């Protein structure tokens, strides 16, 4: 078996791309054995044990940008992680290490550079994260969700490849939207708006949406609202004939199939999935995201004609209501945004990246 290690995590945006690529690799070649390395403090602690893949969770700390004195923990945990990675590599040396970002990837990528294990990276955002930037010079290939990210990477010429974000693609044939709406107990001809603040939800978005519902939704509009588990109890009472409130949307494809447009954060995976389904979005970037990369994502996508950017500081009931009513009353504008979303879509990115990785594995054996 050929082992390929995926290093990354902390958030879903750094873990789920790796899972999509790993599954594409296994579909392509039966001799591939994906193995995941992450951090016990990240989302991978809850997700990876429920997957089909072997994994190693390390006692790692992130880089503390404000509480810099805590970086003593970061350095100390890295030393212990280095030893555990060494034992894993001695057991079976990987053919390639795939970095998907986040602090969970750093030690594995550094170990690979020192021990001459080929590395590639998947860079999700329009502003690549610190891990992607630091290791770009040693990466054989870097797979971009946003082609605009190439300006910020130090990789050598020819190694940066515009693939789009690796996601689980929509099924073929696509589900019937009318049937999907009925499955949510909505009228088959009604309009449906998806509200989704990421896997953990967004309290700022949720508060505005709750007040908007209380004041009165536009006629013929239905909502599918993923609040996030931490705040679900605060907003569950907003459920009504036209509003479905869920703590977590799983499978999220059921919501995508029924939706005409969305209100969402501007994370790379969220926007990639929405656009693969042809769903335009009103994007409210998370203002505390590293290097404010979600704002850059949202601005980039608005300029591409695929989304509407509303900064969180400007998100109010009035702004939301005005924006949504304008879209509902101007179907040509909504269709223009949907065309822009479809133009940015790369639903087969995971398969494309898998083929690049397999070619690299074959070249290294030649």
pLDDT of residue 149: 81
Residues 114 and 243 in one domain: no
| pLDDT > 90 in the chain, percent | 69
pLDDT recorded at residue 126? 78
**CATH number of the CATH domain containing 147:** 3.40.50.2000
DSSP 246-292: ESS-TTHHHHHHH-SEEEE---HHHHHHHHHTT--EEE---TTSGGG
Residues 358, 340 share a domain: no
- The answer on 254 and 222 residing in a single domain is yes
DSSP string, 123-136: E-SSS--HHHHHHG
Residue 48: its pLDDT value, please? 94
Same domain, 147 and 272: no
User: If DSSP codes are grouped into helix, strand and coil, which group holds residue 73?
Assistant: helix
Q: Can you read off the two tokens belonging to residue 71?
A: 């970086």
Q: Alpha carbon of 292 to those of 99, 284, 289, 301, 348: distances in Å?
A: 21, 12, 5, 15, 28
For residues 290 and 338, state if they share a domain.
yes
**Phi and psi (nearest 5°) for 154?**
-100, 20
Least confident interval from 21-35, 161-175, 305-319, 347-361: 161-175
Per the structure, the complete domain to which residue 136 belongs is given by: 2-169+348-365
Q: Residue 31: its pLDDT value, please?
A: 96
| Least trusted range by pLDDT, from 110-114, 117-121, 157-161, 313-317 | 157-161
CA distances from 309 to 108, 127, 221, 264 (A): 36, 17, 21, 10
| The predicted structure's pLDDT at residue 62 | 63
How many structural domains comprise the chain? 2
Average pLDDT, the chain: 90
Residues 357 and 306 in one domain: no
Q: Write the pLDDT tens digit of every residue in 60-70.
A: 766 555 665 65
Q: Are residues 123 and 184 in the same domain?
A: no
Residues 14 and 130 in one domain: yes
8 pLDDT higher than 70: yes
Q: How confident is the model at residue 13 (pLDDT cuts 50, 70, 90)?
A: confident
Regarding predicted confidence, which is higher, 251 or 244? 244
pLDDT tens sequence across 142-193 = 999 888 788 778 655 558 999 999 988 899 898 999 999 999 999 999 999 9
Whether residues 141 and 217 fall in one domain: no
Cα(231)–Cα(87) distance, rounded to whole angstroms? 41
Stretch 122-145: mean pLDDT? 88
Contact of 215 with 238, CB cutoff 8 Å: no
Instruction: Write out pLDDT tens, residues 72-114.
Output: 555 557 788 899 999 999 999 999 999 998 888 999 999 999 9
pLDDT at 198: 75
Q: Which own/partner contact pairs does 244-249 have at CB distance under 8 Å and 24+ positions apart?
A: 244/184, 244/185, 248/199, 249/196, 249/224
How would residue 22 be classed by pLDDT, with cut points 50, 70 and 90? very high
pLDDT of 57 reads: 94
pLDDT value, residue 268: 85
* 163 and 43 housed in the same domain: yes
CB-CB contact of 105 with 18 (8 Å): no
pLDDT in tens, 213-232: 999 999 999 999 999 988 99
For the purposes of burial, counting CB atoms within 10 Å of the CB of 354, is it exposed (0-12), middle (13-18) or buried (19 or more)?
buried
Q: Are 26 and 34 in contact (CB under 8 A)?
A: yes
Radius of gyration for the chain, computed over Cα atoms and rounded to the nearest angstrom = 21
- Pair of tokens at residue 331: 């179907």
Res. 206 pLDDT band, cuts 50 70 90 = very high
Are 233 and 320 contained in the same domain? yes
219/293 same-domain check: yes
């Amino acid at each position: 078996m050929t082992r390929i290690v995926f290093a990354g995590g902390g958030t879903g945006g750094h873990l789920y791309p790796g899972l999509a690529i790993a599954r594409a690799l296994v579909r392509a070649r039966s001799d591939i054995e994906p193995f995941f390395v992450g951090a016990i403090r990240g989302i991978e602690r809850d997700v990876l044990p429920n997957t089909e893949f072997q994994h190693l969770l390390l006692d790692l700390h992130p880089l503390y940008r404000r509480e810099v004195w805590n970086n003593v923990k970061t350095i100390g945990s890295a030393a212990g992680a280095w030893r555990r990675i060494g034992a894993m590599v001695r057991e079976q040396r990987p053919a390639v290490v795939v970095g998907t970002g986040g602090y969970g990837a750093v030690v594995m990528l550094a170990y690979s550079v020192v021990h001459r294990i080929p590395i590639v990276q998947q860079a999700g955002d329009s502003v690549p994260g610190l891990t992607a930037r630091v290791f770009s010079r040693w990466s054989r290939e870097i797979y971009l969700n946003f082609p605009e990210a190439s300006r910020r990477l130090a990789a050598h010429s020819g190694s940066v490849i515009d693939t789009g974000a690796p996601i689980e693609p929509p099924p073929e044939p696509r589900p019937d939207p009318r049937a999907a709406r009925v499955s949510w107990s909505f009228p088959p001809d009604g309009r449906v708006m998806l509200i989704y603040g990421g896997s953990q939800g967004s309290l700022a978005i949720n508060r505005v949406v709750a007040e908007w519902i209380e004041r009165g939704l536009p006629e013929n509009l239905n909502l599918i609202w993923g609040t996030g588990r931490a705040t679900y109890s605060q907003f569950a009472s907003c459920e009504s004939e036209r509003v479905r409130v869920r703590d977590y949307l799983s499978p999220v494809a059921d919501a995508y199939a029924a939706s005409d447009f969305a209100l969402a954060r501007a994370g790379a995976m969220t926007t990639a999935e929405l656009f693969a389904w042809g769903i335009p979005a009103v994007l409210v970037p998370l203002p505390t995201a590293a290097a404010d990369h979600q704002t850059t994502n949202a601005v980039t996508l608005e300029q591409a004609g695929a989304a509407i950017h509303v900064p969180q500081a400007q998100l109010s009931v009035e702004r939301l209501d005005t924006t949504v009513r304008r879209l509902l009353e101007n179907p040509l504008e909504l269709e223009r945004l949907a065309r822009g979303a479809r133009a940015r879509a790369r639903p087969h990115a995971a398969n494309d990246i898998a083929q690049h990785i397999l070619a690299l594995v074959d070249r290294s054996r030649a």
